[in-house]
């Protein structure tokens, strides 16, 4: 990164309703690899993981903690919520959009390890400029 441009601060998020830790570990390994390959900075204190029943509800305690941190850091630099896939936020499309909106309201955007992002498209829709 250039000396004038600060690398984005990346917040890793996942949810896991099952007790199977292996799949979660694989997803997180993919996220760590993505952050490393981009040369970005990983936020300390993470990853933020909602587990069990909390992983299936609209109330996500760990996401709320993460969003508070993102909001505080967004004043100083670009902040990103990295998930392995969109389904790690929610499998229901409407629920996922609500969670993405919360991330945008905290000053960040969401990115998957497959390079999918709501950086520009969802922001435009939320402010009434999208289709």
Residues 6 or more apart from 23 whose CB is under 8 A from it? 16
Ranges in the chain, pLDDT < 50 = 1-2, 129-131
User: Would you state the pLDDT for residue 32?
Assistant: 98
Token code pair at residue 115: 């390079």
Question: Both ends of the chain: CA-CA distance in Å?
Answer: 34
Q: Where are the beta strands (DSSP E) in 17-78?
A: 41-42, 48-51
pLDDT for position 58: 84
Residue 129 pLDDT: 47
**For every residue of 51-116, which 3-state class applies, written as one string?**
EHHHHHCCCCHHHHHHHHHHHHHHCCCCEEEEECCHHHCCCCHHHHHHHHHHHHHCCEEEEECCCC
What is the per-residue pLDDT for 19? 86
């Amino acid at each position: 990164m250039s000396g004038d441009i600060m690398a984005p601060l990346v917040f890793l998020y996942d949810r896991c309703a099952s007790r199977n830790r292996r799949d979660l570990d694989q997803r997180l390994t993919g996220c760590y690899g993505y952050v490393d390959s981009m040369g970005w900075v990983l936020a300390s204190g993470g990853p933020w993981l909602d587990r069990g029943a909390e992983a299936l509800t609209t109330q996500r305690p760990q996401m709320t903690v993460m969003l508070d941190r993102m909001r505080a850091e967004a004043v100083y630099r670009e902040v990103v919520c990295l998930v392995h896939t969109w389904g790690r936020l929610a499998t229901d499309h409407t629920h996922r959009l609500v969670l993405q909106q919360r991330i945008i309201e905290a000053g960040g955007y969401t990115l998957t390890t497959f390079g999918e992002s709501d950086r520009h498209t969802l922001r435009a829709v939320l402010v009434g400029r999208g289709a």
